[in-house]
Amino acid sequence: MADAEYTNIWMRPERPARGPKPAYSRAQIAEAAVRIADAEGAEAVTMRRIAAEIGAGAMSLYRYVPSRDDLIVLVADRLQGEIDLDGVPSGDWRADLTRYAHEVRAMWLRHPWVATVHRSLLAPGPNQLRLIERVMGVLDPCLSIDENLGLMAILNGYVESAAREEVSRAEEVRRSGLSEPEWLARSYPYVERLLSSGDYPIFTKIATDTRHLRLGRDDQFRYGLERVLDCIAAALPPTPPRRERREDHDD
Amino acid sequence: MADAEYTNIWMRPERPARGPKPAYSRAQIAEAAVRIADAEGAEAVTMRRIAAEIGAGAMSLYRYVPSRDDLIVLVADRLQGEIDLDGVPSGDWRADLTRYAHEVRAMWLRHPWVATVHRSLLAPGPNQLRLIERVMGVLDPCLSIDENLGLMAILNGYVESAAREEVSRAEEVRRSGLSEPEWLARSYPYVERLLSSGDYPIFTKIATDTRHLRLGRDDQFRYGLERVLDCIAAALPPTPPRRERREDHDD
DNA sequence: AGTTACTGGGTACGACGTACGCAAGTGGGA
DNA sequence: TCCCACTTGCGTACGTCGTACCCAGTAACT
């Protein structure tokens, strides 16, 4: 078989020249996988379940994708495709990166199971490529590629970690099969034991303060994002490369 | 029996009063899992394989742990235990956080498969608790807990993302079963196609520039870390307060 | 027309997590 | 002291997973 001949899925042609017309498509399969994951969680995304979703036999999927791992790569790139960055090197780098950050977070919140699919940087799909061009294009005019990569690593790191943490709690609740209050009540005894032990003053602070004040998730994310953008601003060369001028940020 | 009675593994007593003395222990099991993952990768960590590693029958593990997921939680906390932060609120916050960051990264490089185990923040194990106390204790005297959490999210985000990216390439190579040069040569055609298409100028820059200059991983990490620490420094109150002062939930 | 390369999909295999049951071992109450 | 309830380790077995293999049917080439 010629499966192992190809470097990755993107090198593998979707449709051959000869033979009968395929009844399905990669896009359709990836779409079904996303639908299932959204509705039933990542663990429900099995080959049989996907096949059933599109009304195909289980083994038919392997006509479109060499393995489940490759299918996941397809799905991962489809998710990147949801991130809308039209017209993004707009001249206002801070607005652009802010928009990017919020787009990524929104995508994570729409699909909490993204955490389970990993994106390879060495075999970027079309959507990830488009994203790279747009996002890195923002600072490209004023930075070396190395500096740009370094700064984007910080930004991406913050955004992904924040999203990951936000999402992990929701996923944990979902997987438990309980409602959020039920689940909270269930985990209460352990927290209570930690608090009453007196050994963890800072954890106690977190647990108690969190229950009271604590701003909303959105504001929390925004605050951290501003910090990160400040950090990027400080690393930028003093003179704006073009006539593009930006005043104070607001969103 | 009574498995579902407990909130999480940490609430479940390791040894009951009655009955014969157990032949193994949770620590021993977690240790075996780590050993296997280090040697053969995360996918080799199965219940049967772990049992074989310690010379037990497959089902014997379930006398110590209610499920595989809980076993993974044990392993995750064991990994946190590798992070050495003795004497860490030392008075020099920047040195402390730098040390923390390098400890975390080193742990990731030792165990590239950490990416596959997820740490719950709601049911922190003993090692994670100790870590929280130490790390957040660094800035606790001069920040509100909310601000501290926000800043630590940025730091953790950077460190974890950097480590994750560093590690993912190595894992991809390992899983392919090829040597690094073989694997690189294998993925070359795709990169070449992208470059010659001319559609991705920035990706091209990355691919070509990376091949030439590019400082070492360590320096790259250090550079980004300094940026992040600068960002934290900027968010710190100008005067080091003599004792804890909290403002009201303000950002 | 025949040849060839494809299609969808049924059957089957090995490996996984783990429910269940059993014989053997142990410690607290009689 | 002796029980016996409750532990222990573990063999067997079930359902589900990814997927190798095989087949008959179909569309584009010669």
CATH code of A34's domain: 1.10.10.60
What tokens were used for A54?
A: 């599109």
Clarify whether residues B105 and B229 are in a common domain. yes
User: Taking the C-alpha atoms of B168, B171, B175 and B179 in order, what is their torsion angle to the nearest 10 degrees?
Assistant: 110
For residue B101, is it within any domain?
Answer: yes
Residue whose C-alpha is closest to residue A82's, from A110, A55, A51 = A110
Clarify whether residues A105 and A225 are in a common domain. yes
Clarify whether residues A110 and A162 are in a common domain. yes
For residue A74, is it within any domain?
Answer: no
Instruction: Inspect the interface and report whether the beta carbons of A151 and B202 lie closer than 8 Å.
Output: no
Show which of residues 212-251 on chain B sit within 8 Å of chain A, judged by CB atoms.
213-215, 220, 223-224, 227-228, 230-231, 234-235, 248-249, 251
Contacts of A211 (CB under 8 A, 6+ apart): none
Instruction: Tell me the C-alpha distance between A130 and A28, whole Å.
Output: 21
Give the E-state strand segments of chain B in sequence order: none
Q: Give the pTM.
A: 0.91
Residue whose C-alpha is closest to residue B69's, from B14, B25, B117 = B117
Beta-carbon count within 10 A of A183 CB = 18
Clarify whether residues A161 and A47 are in a common domain. no
Residue B3 DSSP symbol: G
Mean of per-residue pLDDT scores for chain A: 89
For residue B80, is it within any domain?
Answer: no
Task: Return the residue of B nearest to A229 by Cα.
Answer: B231
Instruction: Tell me the C-alpha distance between A157 and A114, whole Å.
Output: 15
Q: How confident is the model at residue A246 (pLDDT cuts 50, 70, 90)?
A: very low
Token pair 């995508």 in the structure block, residue: A107
For residue A178, is it within any domain?
Answer: yes
Q: Is A82 on the interface with B (CB under 8 A)?
A: no
Total of domains in chain B: 2
Clarify whether residues B102 and B141 are in a common domain. yes
For residue A80, is it within any domain?
Answer: no
Clarify whether residues A143 and A189 are in a common domain. yes
Contacts of A177 (CB under 8 A, 6+ apart): none
Q: How far is B70 from chain A (nearest CA, A)?
A: 13
Question: What is the 3 state secondary structure string of chain A?
Answer: CCHHHCCCHHHCCCCCCCCCCCCCCHHHHHHHHHHHHHHHCHHHCCHHHHHHHHCCCHHHHHHCCCCHHHHHHHHHHHHHCCCCCCCCCCCCHHHHHHHHHHHHHHHHHHCHHHHHCCCCCCCCCHHHHHHHHHHHHHHHHHCCHHHHHHHHHHHHHHHHHHHHHHHHHHHHHHHHCCCHHHHHHHHHHHHHHHHHHCCCHHHHHHHHHHHCCCCCHHHHHHHHHHHHHHHHHHHCCCCCCCCCCCCCCCC
Clarify whether residues B206 and B103 are in a common domain. yes
Residue B193: its chain A contacts at CB < 8 A?
11
Q: Is B190 on the interface with A (CB under 8 A)?
A: yes
Clarify whether residues A62 and A166 are in a common domain. no
Instruction: Inspect the interface and report whether the beta carbons of B122 and A172 lie closer than 8 Å.
Output: yes
Clarify whether residues B43 and B150 are in a common domain. no
CA gyration radius, chain B:
22
The pLDDT value recorded for residue B6 is 85
Tens-binned pLDDT, residue by residue, of chain B (251 aa): 344 578 899 999 887 667 788 899 999 999 999 999 999 999 999 999 999 999 999 999 999 999 999 999 999 999 999 999 999 999 999 999 999 999 999 999 999 999 999 777 778 999 999 999 999 999 999 999 989 999 999 999 999 999 999 999 889 889 888 888 998 888 899 999 999 999 999 999 998 886 555 668 899 999 999 999 999 999 999 865 444 444 444 43
Show which of residues 149-188 on chain A sit within 8 Å of chain B, judged by CB atoms.
149-151, 153-154, 156-162, 165, 168-169, 172, 186-188
Instruction: Inspect the interface and report whether the beta carbons of B11 and A189 lie closer than 8 Å.
Output: yes
For residue A155, is it within any domain?
Answer: yes
Q: How confident is the model at residue A121 (pLDDT cuts 50, 70, 90)?
A: confident
Clarify whether residues A226 and A113 are in a common domain. yes
Show which of residues 99-118 on chain B sit within 8 Å of chain A, judged by CB atoms.
115, 118
Instruction: Tell me the C-alpha distance between B245 and B233, whole Å.
Output: 17
Show residues, CB within 7 A, near nucleic chain D. A 17-21, 45-49, 58-59, 62, 67-69; B 1, 15-16, 18-24, 51, 56-60, 62-64
Contacts of B213 (CB under 8 A, 6+ apart): A146
For residue B104, is it within any domain?
Answer: yes
Clarify whether residues B120 and B228 are in a common domain. yes
Task: Give residue B31's domain range.
Answer: 20-66
The pLDDT value recorded for residue B239 is 61
Clarify whether residues B104 and B218 are in a common domain. yes
**Distance measured from the CA of protein residue B48 to the C1' of nucleotide C28, in angstroms:** 35
Whether A231 and B167 have beta carbons less than 8 Å apart is answered as no
For residue B81, is it within any domain?
Answer: no
> In this structure, what CATH number is given to the domain that contains residue A192?
1.10.357.10
The pLDDT value recorded for residue B238 is 80
Q: Kindly state the greatest CA–CA separation across chain B.
A: 72
